[in-house]
Structure 1
């Protein structure tokens, strides 16, 4: 009987020690990962797979660790500290917008401007060539007209072949018919529509900003070479007597695959970084008020966002969504890939994510804005 009485606590002690070890290891490993991710993401091409971590994990995992901390009774304090530290370090990468809880939209003055930015998902390409729901051209254009915007910044103005090669399209006649009086500016897969006069149009070539020379950029047999080299279209518009620059961007996707076994991993990272460098260089020399919008293919958890100039301000604070997700799969919004930034001369009055009515796997971005009065230090064009 004595032997049996002593055996039970020993067995329980072994279980208790294993449980503590698991919780402490998980807390330590997660903290190490968050710190490493904070320092490496956006800088190293071999960090491709960790960069695909869902942003919300940087908030959910620390909270879960706090919840199980009591299971590691002798080390619960250390687990709690690790969880809190990982939450603090990773909070900005979680994609949570707590300002939505107290945000109140600014009044809309007369003359406010509406901007509509959207990844169209291969324009009006028939459903048999895409993975999306059934679409038709009339419905597609009806959706665009319903937005009643002054400026449209649209991406994926192209089709894709069966072997996933980009195909140039020319729908300018239909665009002018659907949007009478609008100016149409096209560069590669990017199209900007504006009811304001255009004073400058310039696609930004990313090739001068690459770290290495890649001989197949663009591919020699491509039917649409500018699809690979110009991922941002700058269009300067004359708005109320003042020049305002609108940047329409669609950055390349991360190279998905095991970095050391995927030949294009280093190239893909270099091209993505060149997208940001080309944009930053142009913004640095631009004296006008700026609106940048588009599908950057960059989640809140990806460090490449830090490459944007400090002059650009994230408009997220003006949205009423606590978790502004723009990319969806399986009918469920997952996280944010589409962004909108402005400079200080632009007052954001309203900023909303707009459902795509089944026409795209991206929600659109709708901005209502106004331009501040000219003053010393601000260029009025």
Structure 2
């Protein structure tokens, strides 16, 4: 193999040669990352850096396969084998979202339509969000994140004024005053709510910021003749080099990058501990559970595997396409999820392409 690469390098020259070398290096880097992620996924292992990369797993696999096309002049076998591996890996991870789902028989019991929406941090989108929520008259239970109550926001009062008659069951978590209520949560339901609780989520070694303030809002409701546990949460986000622990922009510099590298592990482990807390919550009750919210983790991440035992993902079961609920520049991801436990089944799941927040609303019909 070394001789084949050396012979190929001697034949390459100029700009095309450098492009081929760069493409070949990117191809094998992507292959190495893909193999590590699969080993961790299959063994149940974990690494904070690997988990961060797993959020971008589809992009890494597809980008690596495309880079292989640029490596013309390199040995064909050393291009084709890793390219095929990456494409097969991509198909395994996302195959269920590409293949059309089989039609379901008519429901045997009553159904309930739920929606989860992160309202975002921009006051300018609130009017559009309220108008959209008023239009979605067939939603039975609404799970909300980033219900703000700080300067410039009156989310709770506006939601109750706009939707209160339709949703007599309401539960709220205001969020920490130091955070300007950024992580406020809400559940609005057609069905009366009881046993409303706010549970502080574990935050690991994080000392301040959104990870430290993360909470879950829980309640119980009689839904179509059955008692169901309802949970919404907004989990610790990934660390971002140009933002501080509260998500405020601080610019990009050597100092912010150094802070990001120092906090990356803390943020990833904090979210993992929060997901494990939600798993224990799902396993610890008798009634079926619906968990909906902004979990700040993608369907391909190592994090999400923690929930795969007691819970099922509604969009994975009945959705079509990648179902992005959040975009950063041109990169899309599904950070918002609806999960359900045994005793409940998903009949449909969809994401509305509407400009009402920096997140898209996700709806699911459950039986």
Measured after TM superposition, the shift of residue 98 of structure 1 is 3.8
Change (3 A) 1:46 1:324: closer
- 1:255 is aligned to 2:239: yes
Q: Deviations over 1:106-163 (max 9, x none)?
A: 54567321111111113xx533xxxxxx553xx43232121121100011101566xx
* CA pair 12-154 structure 1, distance change in 2 beyond 3 A: closer
1:175 to 150, 160, 166: 160
- For 1:157, the equivalent position in structure 2 comes to 147
> By how many angstroms is 1:81 displaced?
1.6
Per the alignment, do residues 179 and 317 of structure 1 end up closer, same or farther by CA in structure 2, a change over 3 Å counting? same
Q: Distance in 2 between matches of 1:346 and 1:23?
A: 47
TM-score, normalising length: structure 1: 0.73
5+ unaligned residues in a row in structure 1: which ranges? Answer: 1-9, 128-133, 162-166, 220-224, 371-381
Shift of 1:71: 3.8
Tell me the residue number matched to 2:58. Answer: 55
Q: Is the 8 A contact 1:315 1:351 kept in 2?
A: yes
Partner of 2:349: 351
Matched residue SS, 1:310: coil
Task: Give the C-alpha shift of residue 57 in structure 1.
Answer: 3.6
Q: Measure how far apart 1:301 and its partner are.
A: 4.0
Hey, what does 2:252 align to over in structure 1? Answer: none
Residue from 170, 189, 192 that aligns with 1:184: 170
Pick 1 or 2: higher relative contact order, CA cutoff 8 A, min separation 6: 1
Secondary structure of 1:158's partner? coil
Q: 1:22 to 1:345 in 2, by over 3 A?
A: same
Residue 205 of structure 1 and its aligned partner are, at CA, apart by 1.9
CA separation of 1:98 and 1:274: change in aligned 2, threshold 3 A: closer
Residue of structure 2 in register with 1:131 after alignment = none
Work out the CA distance in 1 between the residues paired with 2:98 and 2:51: 30
Q: Which TM-score applies when normalising by structure 2? A: 0.75
Matched, 1:363 2:360: yes
* 1:243 equivalent in structure 2: 227
Aligned equivalents of 2:154 and 2:297: distance in 1? 26
Partner of 2:299: 300
Structure 2, unpaired ranges of 5+: 1-6, 176-183, 242-255
| Per-residue deviation, 1:317 | 4.0
- Provide the aligned length of Structure 1 versus Structure 2: 329
In structure 2, relative to structure 1, the CA distance for the partners of 1:267 and 1:346 (3 Å cut) is: same
Are 1:14 and 2:11 counterparts? yes
Number of the residue aligned with 2:246: none
Give SS of 2:12's match: helix
- Structure 1 distance, partners of 2:81, 2:149, is 51
Q: Which segments of structure 1 move beyond 6 Å, counting only runs of 4 or more?
A: none
SS in 2 for 1:293: strand
Q: Are the aligned partners of 2:58 and 2:90 in contact in 1 as well (CA < 8 Å)?
A: no
1:282 matched to which residue of 2? 281
What's the CA shift for 1:168? 8.6
SS at match of 2:237: coil
Larger helix share, 1 or 2? 2
Is the deviation greater in 146-155 or in 176-185? 176-185
| C-alpha displacement of 1:276 | 0.6
- Structure with larger Rg: 1
1:16-68 C-alpha deviation (Å, 9 max, x unpaired): 89577555544322211222344569933345764563633423532552x45
Question: SS state of the match for residue 368, structure 1?
Answer: strand
CA distance in 1, matches of 2:280, 2:230: 15
Pairs within 5 Å for 1:39-78:
39=39, 43-47=46-50, 50-51=53-54, 53=56, 55-62=58-65, 65=68, 67=69, 71-72=73-74, 75-78=75-78
Compute the displacement of 1:92 (Å): 5.1
Q: Counterpart of 2:345 in 1: which secondary structure?
A: strand
Q: State yes or no: 1:341 paired with 2:339.
A: yes
2-structure distance, mates of 1:116, 1:49: 27
The verdict on how the C-alpha distance between 1:288 and 1:168 changes in structure 2, with shifts beyond 3 A counting, is: farther
In structure 1, what is the equivalent of residue 217 of structure 2? 233
Partner of 2:303, secondary structure, is helix
Relative distance call for 1:13 and 1:244 in structure 2 (3 A) is same
